Structure 1
């Protein structure tokens, strides 16, 4: 059994892709993690997405249209990512929901290291793969430290994420991480507005209902529902 940690750089965003706007993969990268938690050497390939590179995308990964002339096509890229995958293997990515907009991974299960870290590393200052890299102190575990740079390129990012995954696997099985990936995260603090940084447990019923009635993300609404239920169950906005 292996876990293939995937990272994609793109021309355009996942939102563009979902809305039918021009967007595609411009680089694939992966790093395999073995059953005994060895992190293998990362692999990456440029991909010609068939759409022009938007300036804001290039500003993230610095991949230009000229660099993609003669690169593999998207169909070959996704076939390459599937190469060597066997029954029982798992795909992983740091923000798996993003990667899966561009690459479904067939019938293989997925682990999202960002969501798992939100469950298991609550004290991290944020949950980007680079922040977790330094929060967890994984640099000393790199067999090829030069391959962890530069950030925002598919090979290096998959290599960093693979080490984050290996650290999570010390305390949780692959099956437990796939379960955590689909388990909503309870946010500890408010992440917007005048109450930013305050614990959700300190918010009153009126504010919680206000958030629930507006267009916030699913994770925020899950957290709000949790605290509304607590208040209505106990009658005490500040107690369990």
Structure 2
């Protein structure tokens, strides 16, 4: 942690609005900053040396918050360390707007037309401006979902529309060959990688749907038989 930033969002009588921000402070990590990291945020060791301690930074972020939010909360929550609930705008955006070209913070900003021309969103990859953009994404999501729903989304895998890796990159999951789905679930290291949770979840779901469809199409039909549209859900319970 070399810098921490925050923007406060609050429920007013008129609705959800930004209360204040963006704010940020430099943090002394107690170690040298790698050059690749420095190339992203442009914070030098000399600058960070004048910063507050990581424990003070955590207190700044947690102070007065009922819910914490980040764009990829699985990453940020490891640094903040709190038992308060989190909202992940990255996961929620993938659920709300699955066909976006990208679900990166700045990409969502441009595609949704959020805080454009606002100097408080610059420079990117700095803690304060990034929280300003995330706050606007959160406000956009709060037009669709209640906070409790966003918290629930954060805690569960996302069902993806398109493959974001490998030889089938860009394809819809429904068009991925059976053999490749089998490789993901039974031969790759992805099921044990927490960062691939959404991919594995979607692959399992697709396998279950296909198995249920095959079972339905191969079963003998009769006037008394009825089609169960939720058969794939029962198949999914096997995993």
TM-score between both structures, scaled by the size of structure 2: 0.83
Structure-2 residue corresponding to 1:215: 189
Instruction: Work out which of the residue numbers 76, 88, 91 in structure 2 matches 1:112.
Output: 88
Structure-1 residue corresponding to 2:165: 192
RMSD: 2.0
Write out per-residue CA displacement over residues 89-118 of structure 1, whole angstroms, 9 at most, x where no aligned residue: 1100001011012112x2210000000000
Matched, 1:99 2:71: no
Distance in structure 1 (CA, Å) of the matches to 2:183 and 2:48: 47
Write out per-residue CA displacement over residues 133-175 of structure 1, whole angstroms, 9 at most, x where no aligned residue: 00110125x8xx2111000000000000000000100111111
Structure-2 residue corresponding to 1:68: 48
Is the partner of 2:3 in helix, strand or coil?
strand
Structure-1 residue corresponding to 2:103: 127
Structure-2 residue corresponding to 1:10: none
> How far apart are residue 71 of structure 1 and its match?
1.3
Distance in structure 2 (CA, Å) of the matches to 1:128 and 1:155: 16
Instruction: Work out which of the residue numbers 107, 110, 124 in structure 2 matches 1:151.
Output: 124
Question: Which one scores higher on RCO, CA 8 angstroms, separation ≥ 6?
Answer: 1
Distance in structure 1 (CA, Å) of the matches to 2:62 and 2:176: 46
Distance in structure 1 (CA, Å) of the matches to 2:60 and 2:115: 28
Task: Check whether the contact 1:47–1:74 (CA below 8 A) recurs between aligned residues.
Answer: yes
Larger radius of gyration: 2
Task: Check whether the contact 2:99–2:161 (CA below 8 A) recurs between aligned residues.
Answer: no
Runs of 5+ unmatched residues, structure 2: 191-195, 216-231, 233-239
Structure-1 residue corresponding to 2:211: 232
Distance in structure 2 (CA, Å) of the matches to 1:187 and 1:43: 34
Distance in structure 2 (CA, Å) of the matches to 1:96 and 1:215: 23
Is the partner of 1:193 in helix, strand or coil?
coil
Write out per-residue CA displacement over residues 50-86 of structure 1, whole angstroms, 9 at most, x where no aligned residue: 010001111110100011122111111111222233x
TM-score between both structures, scaled by the size of structure 1: 0.82
